């Protein structure tokens, strides 16, 4: 092998190496973008508002939903009690739910509930400590409403669509 | 052997708890407050550890043989208890409470105890409330409050509110109902919950609007109120409360601050109150107007050369708030009309003036755990005599002009240690003594015009 061909060889190998590295980066960037958009699309719809099977409703207006979680609307249209279950204020699902579905910040919900409880004009929602407990309560409490990750939803609860 | 002991112990405990539960339930059924729903629900799930370190499960009554749980009682009581047990679901009965302790130091003048001389632990607040929903549309709630604050409040528990709330109409997000009993007076953003440290922005609420010295008068009254929430999917929610009430006037601090130098008593008359709040759907903008038309009569002592006169106090409040994720901006303005009549005394009957108060407050949430605020708060007892000079010369009180106004600049920091426990501190620089309590500072000539206040507070709630 003459020195020229060697240098060509080195150059070509180097170019190939560069290309492959570039391709790797390009793919990785593409993949990252894809994953990001995918996860964002996923984030919008990977939880649902759920209700106890006894509730004869299949949808609710955004306005009424806000009123339910503000603890102002207290009965289902058939006159039975609404029982509201929530996770802790700093729970990720609670935060996403309040911002996306109710369009309020968790601290605003908290102050709304505190105003009701300590003036006696209303009650606070019932706090559960985990997704599992939320699921249990929704199944076992007549008139219950709450929210769950899609992965935790099965045929034992009903999903409420927001109009 | 060990197993046997455990199961016997658990049976005993379960039986015992059930007995308590049933007794409490009966209490509730006969019109008292009870903790049964909580006891029952928690009792079922609670796991306790005995001395040998073995864990025991509290059993529901239904899992036990009947001879352990049955106690001889008339059938109808048992039926009532069974009915309640079947109907009661967690959350229908709620018990909440809070306690707060503050430490206050002032450079001059006393606030809630001897704060001037080395500080005082003079402000303690505690409350316990229960609410119960026996029917879907009926809510019963009551709160007992204890407040130890200087000379004005001894810490003696008092009934803060106790009322029935019946929802007359409910369609989607529109509600309409009626409340009757002892109710919190709805005015401004904070009056309904002013004694709960967690719900207010600072240790001392802006004193220009939320006077602590006439607090019991302003706080709650025996009342009937109508309320309504009207919600529009786009425009937001309008909520209103309207009612009439008999104010609470038989309180030392109120008497001292309203009837300076008079020895008689106040009797209450029918008064009116109302508030309307508009909120956008995202609760970012909140606007409120509230008004009170408060009436009381003065009954003079036998030695006083006075007829029984009438007092009329009619403040109007305008409130506005903007809430962003990290910060909130709040401002409230009040114009307060104060008039005496029928005393048959020229000086008293001439009492007819308008007071003015306002504050502007900014809150910032650094993290969900750390919050800070800055506020400017101003009070003028008589808006036509803001400096107090005219009052001082007319009443021969030169040197005490500063008792007719107060301007307070406050900064504070709050640390939400856990959702249930909070610590905070604040510093006030005050010019004027307009809202100082006369009971804590009996000699007005000894008060200082310019003073500072530093306070820290710890509070727990459940």
- The interface predicted TM-score of the complex, written ipTM, equals 0.76
pLDDT tens by residue, B246-256: 887 766 666 66
CATH of domain A46-162: 3.40.190.10
pLDDT at position B249 is: 74
Q: Is the distance from CB of B162 to CB of B139 less than 8 angstroms?
A: no
Lowest mean pLDDT among A124-138, B64-78, B283-297, B341-355: B64-78
B172/A79 touch (CB, cutoff 8 Å), yes or no: no
pLDDT tens by residue, B356-385: 999 999 999 999 899 999 999 999 999 998
**pLDDT reading at B445 higher than 90:** no
CA atoms within 13 A on the CB side of B227: 23
Domain ranges of chain A: 1-45, 46-162
% of chain A at pLDDT higher than 90: 65
B173/A88 touch (CB, cutoff 8 Å), yes or no: no
% of chain B at pLDDT higher than 70: 76
To 5 degrees, how large is the angle CA B298–CA B300–CA B301?
A: 150
To 5 degrees, how large is the angle CA A82–CA B275–CA B201?
A: 80
To 5 degrees, how large is the angle CA B10–CA B12–CA B16?
A: 115
**pLDDT reading at B146 higher than 70:** yes
Min Cα distance A44 → chain B (Å) is: 19
Nearest CA in chain A to B198: A114
- Classify B166 in phi/psi space as left (phi over 0), alpha (psi -120 to 50) or beta: beta
Which residue(s) pair with B242 in the sheet? B226, B274
pLDDT at position B108 is: 83
CA distances from A25 to A11, A19, B396, B456 (A): 21, 10, 87, 56
Considering only residues B442 and B354, tell me which one the structure prediction assigns the higher pLDDT.
Answer: B354
pLDDT at position B14 is: 43
pLDDT at position B23 is: 46
Min Cα distance B167 → chain A (Å) is: 9
pLDDT at position B38 is: 38
In our burial notation (b when 16+ CB lie closer than 10 A, e otherwise), range B157-188 reads ebebbbbebebeebeebbbebebebbbbbbbb
pLDDT tens by residue, A16-71: 665 666 666 666 666 665 555 554 444 556 999 999 999 988 999 999 999 999 99
- Residue A38: CB partners within 8 Å, gap ≥ 6? none
The shortest CB-CB distance from A63 to any of B161, B172, B175 is to B172
Which range is most confident: B50-64, B260-274, B296-310, B426-440?
B426-440
Lowest mean pLDDT among A124-138, B27-41, B92-106, B291-305: B27-41
Considering only residues B81 and B70, tell me which one the structure prediction assigns the higher pLDDT.
Answer: B81
Give the H/E segment covering residue A132: helix A131-140
Rounded Cα–Cα distance for residues B432 and B412 (Å):
20
A112/B283 touch (CB, cutoff 8 Å), yes or no: yes
CA atoms within 13 A on the CB side of B435: 27
Confidence band, pLDDT 50/70/90 cuts, at residue A92: very high
Q: Does B193 touch chain A (CB under 8 A)?
A: yes
A vs B: CB pairs below 8 A: 123
Residue B366: exposed, middle, or buried by beta-carbon count in 10 A (0-12, 13-18, 19+)? exposed
Provide the mean pLDDT of chain B.
80
Which range is most confident: A75-79, B22-26, B30-34, B411-415?
B411-415
CA distances from A131 to B145, B308, B462 (A): 36, 65, 22
A75/B170 touch (CB, cutoff 8 Å), yes or no: yes
Domains, chain B: 2-87 (no CATH), 93-461 (2.40.160.10)
Min Cα distance B219 → chain A (Å) is: 11
Q: Is the distance from CB of A133 to CB of A91 less than 8 angstroms?
A: no
Provide the mean pLDDT of chain A.
84
pLDDT tens by residue, B93-132: 999 999 999 999 988 888 887 766 777 888 899 999 999 9
């Amino acid at each position: 092998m003459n020195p020229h061909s060697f240098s060509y060889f080195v150059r070509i190998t180097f170019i190939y190496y560069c290309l492959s590295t570039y391709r790797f980066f390009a793919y990785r960037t593409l993949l990252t973008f894809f994953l990001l958009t995918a996860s964002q699309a996923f984030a919008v719809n990977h939880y649902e508002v759920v209700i106890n099977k006894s509730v004869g409703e299949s949808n609710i207006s955004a306005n009424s939903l806000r009123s339910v979680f503000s603890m102002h609307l207290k009965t289902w249209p058939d006159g039975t009690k609404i029982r509201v279950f929530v996770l802790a204020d700093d729970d990720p699902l609670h935060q996403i739910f309040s911002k996306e579905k109710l369009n309020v910040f968790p601290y605003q919900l908290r102050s709304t509930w505190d105003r009701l409880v300590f003036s006696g004009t209303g009650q606070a929602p019932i706090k559960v400590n985990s997704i599992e407990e939320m699921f249990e309560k929704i199944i076992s409490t007549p008139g219950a409403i709450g929210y769950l990750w899609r992965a935790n939803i099965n045929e034992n609860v009903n999903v409420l669509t927001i109009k | 052997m060990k197993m046997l002991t455990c199961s016997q112990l658990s049976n005993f405990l379960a039986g015992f708890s059930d007995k308590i539960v049933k007794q409490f339930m009966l209490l509730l059924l006969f019109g008292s407050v009870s903790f049964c729903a909580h006891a029952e629900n928690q009792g079922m799930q609670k796991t306790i550890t005995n001395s040998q370190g073995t864990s025991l499960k509290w059993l529901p009554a239904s899992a036990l043989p009947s001879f352990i749980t049955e106690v001889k009682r008339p059938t109808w009581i048992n039926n009532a208890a069974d009915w309640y047990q079947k109907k009661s679901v967690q959350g229908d009965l709620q018990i909440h409470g809070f306690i707060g302790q503050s430490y206050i130091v002032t450079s001059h003048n006393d606030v809630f105890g001897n704060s001037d001389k080395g500080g005082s632990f003079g402000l303690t607040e505690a409350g316990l409330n229960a609410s119960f929903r026996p029917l879907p549309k009926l809510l019963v709630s009551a709160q007992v409050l204890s407040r130890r604050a200087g000379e004005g409040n001894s810490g003696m528990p008092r009934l803060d509110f106790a009322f029935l709330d019946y929802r007359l109409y409910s369609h989607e997000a529109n509600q309409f109902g009626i409340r009757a009993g002892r109710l919190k007076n709805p005015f401004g953003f904070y009056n309904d919950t002013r004694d709960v440290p967690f719900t207010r922005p600072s240790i001392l609420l802006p004193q220009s609007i939320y006077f602590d010295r006439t607090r019991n008068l302003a706080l709650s009254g025996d009342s009937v109120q109508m309320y309504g929430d009207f919600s529009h999917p786009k425009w937001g929610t309008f909520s209103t409360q309207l009612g009439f009430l008999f104010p609470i006037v038989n309180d030392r601090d109120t008497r001292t601050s309203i009837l300076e130098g008079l020895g008689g008593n106040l009797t209450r008359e029918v008064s009116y109150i109302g508030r309307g709040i508009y909120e956008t759907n995202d609760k970012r903008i909140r606007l409120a107007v509230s008004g009170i038309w408060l009436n009381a009569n003065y009954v003079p002592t036998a030695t006083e050369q006075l007829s029984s006169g009438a007092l009329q106090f009619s403040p109007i409040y305008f409130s506005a708030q903007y809430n962003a994720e990290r910060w909130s901006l709040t401002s409230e303005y009040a114009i307060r009309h104060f008039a005496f009549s029928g005393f048959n005394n020229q000086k008293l009957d001439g009492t007819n003036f308008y007071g003015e108060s306002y504050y502007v407050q900014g809150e910032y949430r650094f993290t969900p755990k750390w919050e800070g605020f800055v506020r400017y708060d101003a009070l003028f007892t008589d808006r036509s005599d803001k400096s107090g000079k005219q009052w001082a010369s007319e009443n021969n009180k030169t040197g005490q002009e500063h008792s007719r106004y107060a301007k307070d600049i406050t900064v504070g920091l709050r640390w939400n240690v856990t959702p249930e426990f909070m610590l905070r501190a604040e510093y006030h620089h005050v010019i004027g003594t307009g809202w100082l309590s006369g009971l804590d500072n009996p000699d007005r000539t000894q008060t200082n015009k310019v003073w500072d206040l530093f306070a820290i507070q710890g509070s727990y709630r459940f």
